[in-house]
Each structure stands twice: as structure tokens, then as C-alpha cells.
Structure 1
């Protein structure tokens, strides 16, 4: 049954009600006698888990509603013919004329290593599905390039300036410094399998199946790489860059500032406030937190000095739950709460990290290796890089 705005409102109301119940039980747990704490603690944990489920359900309904409103692009005639021929290749392995149609649609030929380029409409649909399922793609800058690698220039400042009298000589200032940064690129692959019988079935939607399988496989690998990948044949994740204690005035470009929680495997509300204000005001307008689901459960219990909860549920459509007024991105590739873990990140990820997609996902059809299954060896080139090391801050759960 199609999702409508009333479904979102209903879940939001239930979320608000459960949050009130959670606050009541948690407050009683804090104030209770030792004998009662065990029972109340279990009730708080159950309500905390229910809050997480409702929050996730609300977000998922909002995404589904947005998907229903998304227009379908029909593309050009050449692109349409290419897509039809490509799906014939997927179902039957017939590639007659596919290379010519591909060249007309994409202005490129088939690679020397074999396989065919996925039609652009289908390719962009895969990227859109990746955005829907990957937390990093939801918040980071994304660009599409037609070359195997990507580089860009960044200004490191250093021009210099000074005060002079009206008639005094004007000394030369320093030369502004430009630096070049390059994306860490790698080729990601998936090899979904389907029987020829299912491909012959006219009711089997091969396009949706291939899109979904590839997007799921790519999303799992990409998410880990964009977060903590080492940059060797894969993107370099933002947490893999050097983390240092130096602030923005003294820190070298390309290194992220980390704050220490003061407690091994723990933190309090004051440290969250410190993390927020370690970020320059210009970055805070579009900033959000990034942490795992278990860490979100941890912060739901935190209060300020007046006894107010720092976490607030999103009680309206398109209004996410917040921590001290900032949205939360749940990323299970970020470390959980543990001693010395880089458990919470905060910043403007749109400005801080860029994901680079090379247009042209490719598919090699293999009906021989794993009979009776037909394999679709699918590859795409993707990269990532930190572009603004002042835009993201990290809280490390260490005693010192």
C-alpha cells in the first residue's frame, strides 16, 4: 500500500509518546533506590530500543514517500534504445548491435577487457540507490567524472597582509599557497547470480533485481571505505586521516582535530558541547553528528545541568531527531562506544569529504562459470577524499 504523509505523522506521534514514557522511566531509574534500579533499567533499555525502531521507521517512511515523488527520466531516444538492447543482453546474452548503440548513447566504446557499459539511466539509478542506502552518500559531496582519476586545487592561504601609513612604502606580501589533492580511487565489483529460467520469465524484473543486488553489495563495501578505508585500491575514509589535538589555527592541512572525552570508553554532555564549538560557526549551519545506533542509545540518556535531555525526537515530517539541535547520521562503520574509540564525529560532511564516481558501471555476463546460474560481474570505479580538514571534528573516548 502506498505511503502517505498521514503514515509519517502517525509514527511521529507514537515516537513522541514513547519519548515521554522513556524520560519518565529513565528519570525514575536515576532517582530510584538501589533495589528498584535493576527493574527500571530493563524498562528504560526496552523503551530506548523502541525509540530507535520508531525513529528508523519514520526516516524510512519519509524516504519512501520521497521516492514516490521522484520523477522518472525517459532520456533520449539513443539512450532508450541502448537500455532496451542492454536488457536484452542481460536476459538472453544477445549483444548484437549493443556496442554501436552504446557508442551513440554514451560516446564511448566497450572496454578492451570486455563487458558493456550500463545505460546511463540505469547507472544513475544505481548511484541513487547507493545514496539511499549509504549514510556517507547521504551527507557527503558527490561528483561524477569521466576520467579514471580526479584531482583538485585547494587554497592553503598565506598571502599575508599588514597595516601601513598613508604615504609609507607597501612591502610585498607572501605568496598565497595552492595545494593539489587527489581522490583515492579503486574499482569495486559485485557478481550477482540469477538462473537463466528466472531471466526468461517475463514477470521477473531484471532491471530492478540487478539494480538492487549491485547497490546492496556496493553500499556495504563503500560505506566502510568512505569511513575508515586505508586508501589502498579503495577510497581513503575520513577517519583514516591523521587525528591530532591541534586546533584550526595550528593544525596542518589534511589532518583532523580530535577532542579527548576524558573518560576511557565514555563521555558526557559537556564533551558533546565542546565538540560542537570546536567547529567554526560557518561550518555549524549544515553540521550533523555521525555515530552508530548503539552510541545513539547512549546519548539518549544524557542530560544537561538543568536536567533536560540532550536528544530530542523528530515529531514532524522531514524533521529528524536531534542532539543539541543537530541532526544525527547513523553509520554502523563508525566505531561503537569503547576505550580509545573515535566514536562520534561532528561537522559539515558536505564540505569536508567528497565521493567521486566515474560514470560507466560495466557488466560482464558469465553463463558458464557457475551453471545453471548466470553471473553478472559488475564493476565501477569510485573514490573519496578529505577536501576540507576544518569541516569535521572527532571525539575520541580516551582518559587522556
Structure 2
């Protein structure tokens, strides 16, 4: 018997139910998508508000795992176990070396506010000691013909530079409530406080330091009136102002003499160093035709100039007074050496001064005159 196949048409009512189900599924998918979009927008708004919130010092420290563990784990809550797993320099009594990102901010801030550091030769070392041999004279070259004999030259004279070093410290403190506030830029605040205190202390030492547990300032070098050819190594040449208590009758001439006492190659990069009181007197000096010796910077950010050379204000320089050295002129990049260990160490102390948490920060810094021909001084003397 033949088999008859019948084609069954879908009921129109069932098709309408399928359309409704598909519409409901589509609406659910759109609702889920809107929810995801709203969540992403919320996260972006939080990130935008965090980025727009100004930091206390505008530092902008990176948020790597080392920095996050150091700041959130140790600085905020005093947990040392996280640091011991990440850092090689560990000492519960001597402090922990700060991450490189924070140490870079401290170093950059110190350059901005420490006048001598900004123009001197800075060397970073891995140890607390530093030594350098420099040549102080002797002929190590000569002229001969193509086939002529090469006579023996004189042996060079060498001197060893060992800058005195000392431990520079700062002790900023904060309340625990400040540390518990997640919006408080702890790393930026701490870097700014440490750098400010370090710069203030070392700025004075680079100028007037005794060399005992601190750098030896360039004003503590032996002064001499002898020229570069005959002066003892390590002593700085000075010229007198021509007056026992002031800058004299023709101070502009003395300043020109001071510039010309410096060798021509060293004048490139040379600067004036004086405090604001001396600067006020120097800015009033005029030439014979009435023109000011002082030349204000023509572009924002460029230093003012005196006789064509930049002026650095250092408040630790002495005022104009009898037997003082209120003005220095020289190439400090060649003339003064600053040495420092590579990292700053911080010890967290929540016990000594409750309810404050103190942060004891240390750094080893040294300094000494490197090339005594590169710095000249003006002395208030007849």
C-alpha cells in the first residue's frame, strides 16, 4: 500500500508565541548589556575622579607591586613581611630602602631646591666610601718628529680625593588617621617632606660644612691669593673687595677681575653664587655709562645673569661683612664633587611619639672641592 506524506503547517498562534519569546530574550540581553555598560561607566568615572584629584605635591608615584607593598603594607600599616619577600635591603633596626620610584622623586625634588646640588658634580655610589685620583700637574706628552726619539716625560702628579661623608636624616611624622585615609597621597607627601629637609641640611653643608660627619663645604677650603700656577692643591684663590667692610668703590671692576681669574675653558658653565642680601646690593651696580650689570632673564625659566653668567641664590652664603666670602664664581660641575649612596632608607616608628607615626629617613651624603682651579672667591678685605 502506498504511503502518503502530509506536510503540517505551523499554527499561526504558536508562531506568535515564538516571536514573543524571542522579543523577551532580546530585551533581557539588552538589559544585561546596559547593566555592563553602566558598570564600565562607573569604573571610568572613579578612575577619572582619582586622576583629577591633585596630589599633595604633584609627584605621581608609580603604582607597581613594590611601591604598593611598601606604601600600603609598611608605611600605612607597618607590615614588614611583605617587604622581606620583595626587597633585598632589609633591616628592622636600620630601616628599609625605599622603592626606586619614590627615591627618584626625592632626588629630583632635592635638585630643585638645593642650589649647589643643582650645579655640582653628583656621583652615586653603592658603598659609603668613595675615592678618586686626579692629576694635579706633570708633563705626560710632548712633540717629536716622525723618526725622532721619544724622550721620557715627567711623571704626572696625582692627588686622592676622599669626600667626607655623613648620615643625613629627616624625621617627618603623621597621625594614624592620615595614614588610614586612602585618599591621602602618602608616598608623595613623604617624598616631599624628606626631600625638603635633606635639601635644607645639605645646602648648608655644601657651603659651610666642616668635613666632620658631614661634607666639607667649599668655603672651608684653604683660601689663598696665589694664582693657579703656584697655589697649593685644594686651596681656593680669592681677591679682595678693596674695602674692609663692603664691596668697595668700584665693585664692578672686582667682579670682572673675578671672572677673568677663572681659566677660559672653565668659564663655560660657570655661575655666580651668593645670598639674596648680597644679590640686592649687586643688582644696583652700574657701569660708567649708567647701565646695570644685572641682566634679568628674558625667557621664563631662564636664570638672571651678571656679566653674562647665571646667578644662583644660596641663602647659606655669608652676608657682606669684614673677612667674609659673600660671592663665589666658578664652574661647580668641575669644581665641587657630591657623593651619595644610591637609596634612601626609612624606618617606621609608631611608638616614640604617640599618637603620631614617625618616619626616620636617612641617606649618606658627602662633598668636597674637586678642582680648586674651578672656583674663585671674593673676600671683603682691603
Smaller-chain TM-score bracket: 0.7 to 0.9
- Pairing of 1:1-400 with structure 2 (within 5 A): 80-88=64-72, 89-103=74-88, 109-111=89-91, 113-159=93-139, 171-267=151-247, 268-399=251-382
Indicate the residue corresponding to 2:27 in structure 1: none
Distance in 1 between residues matched to 2:188 and 2:141, nearest whole Å:
58
Per the alignment, in what secondary structure is the counterpart of residue 219 of structure 2? helix
Per the alignment, in what secondary structure is the counterpart of residue 265 of structure 2? helix
> Could you report, residue by residue, the CA deviation over 1:19-67 in whole angstroms, capped at 9, with x for unpaired residues?
xxxxxxxxxxxxxxxxxxxxxxxxxxxxxxxxxxxxxxxxxxxxxxxx9
TM-fit CA distance, 1:160: 6.2
TM-fit CA distance, 1:185: 0.7
Indicate the residue corresponding to 1:32 in structure 2: none
Distance change in 2, residues 1:97/1:270 (3 Å):
same
> Could you report, residue by residue, the CA deviation over 1:266-296 in whole angstroms, capped at 9, with x for unpaired residues?
2210000000000011011111100001111
Contact 2:245 2:380 in 1 (8 A): yes
Distance in 2 between residues matched to 1:372 and 1:307, nearest whole Å:
62
Distance in 1 between residues matched to 2:296 and 2:344, nearest whole Å:
39
TM-fit CA distance, 1:169: 7.1
Per the alignment, in what secondary structure is the counterpart of residue 296 of structure 1? helix
TM-fit CA distance, 1:336: 0.9
Distance in 2 between residues matched to 1:166 and 1:358, nearest whole Å:
49
Distance change in 2, residues 1:140/1:165 (3 Å):
closer
Contact 2:61 2:187 in 1 (8 A): no
Contact 1:247 1:257 in 2 (8 A): yes
Indicate the residue corresponding to 1:9 in structure 2: none
Distance in 1 between residues matched to 2:307 and 2:147, nearest whole Å:
52
Per the alignment, in what secondary structure is the counterpart of residue 76 of structure 2? helix
> Could you report, residue by residue, the CA deviation over 1:142-192 in whole angstroms, capped at 9, with x for unpaired residues?
121111111111012213677889999765332112221111111011111
- In structure 1, stretches of 5+ residues that fail to align are 1-66, 104-108
Per the alignment, in what secondary structure is the counterpart of residue 92 of structure 1? coil
* TM-score (normalizing by structure 2): 0.80
Larger Rg: 2
Distance in 2 between residues matched to 1:226 and 1:330, nearest whole Å:
14
RMSD: 2.2
Distance in 1 between residues matched to 2:306 and 2:193, nearest whole Å:
34
Distance in 2 between residues matched to 1:166 and 1:110, nearest whole Å:
62
- In structure 2, stretches of 5+ residues that fail to align are 1-56
Higher deviation after alignment, 159-168 or 89-98 = 159-168
TM-fit CA distance, 1:319: 2.8
Distance in 2 between residues matched to 1:165 and 1:364, nearest whole Å:
66
TM-fit CA distance, 1:112: 6.9
Distance change in 2, residues 1:131/1:169 (3 Å):
closer
